[in-house]
């Protein structure tokens, strides 16, 4: 990333106060798409995407954490359903295991 873009991302990230970060986390936990999140927050969608894609951004950190926590809860529920014999849950948990194994080799 060039110097201008780096400076722009630092400037943009500074504009997200704790209240906005908390709201981003809430929306990400509800699996809200970024385009809808931007509309609900009245934030420029491209700027929000830039902040989420910047690995050093606090926006990215809260977004990914909240999304991961929801995904984790959903996987736990699917595992419980698989344990009691739900065929679809068994199928989904098998996919989760494949995804986990693939991620370990990256």
Convert the pLDDT of each residue in 31-62 to its tens digit. 999 999 999 999 999 999 999 999 999 999 99
Res 42: pLDDT:
93
pTM value is 0.80
Q: What is the pLDDT confidence band of residue 16, given thresholds at 50, 70 and 90?
A: confident
DSSP states of the chain: --HHHHHHHHHHHHT--HHHHHHHHHHHHTT--HHHHHHHHT--HHHHHHHHH-TT-HHHHHHHHHHHHHHHHHHHHHHHHHHTT-HHHHHHHHHHHHHHHHHHT-
Strand locations in 1-106, DSSP E? none
């Amino acid at each position: 990333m060039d110097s201008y873009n780096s400076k722009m991302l630092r400037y943009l990230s500074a504009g997200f106060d704790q209240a906005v970060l908390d709201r981003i986390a809430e929306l990400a936990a509800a699996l809200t798409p970024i385009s809808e999140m931007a509309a609900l927050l009245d934030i420029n969608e491209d700027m929000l995407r830039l902040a989420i894609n910047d690995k050093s951004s606090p926006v990215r950190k809260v977004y990914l954490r909240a999304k991961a926590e929801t995904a984790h809860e959903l996987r736990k529920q699917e595992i419980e359903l698989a344990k009691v014999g739900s065929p679809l849950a068994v199928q989904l948990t098998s996919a989760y295991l494949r995804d986990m194994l693939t991620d370990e080799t990256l």
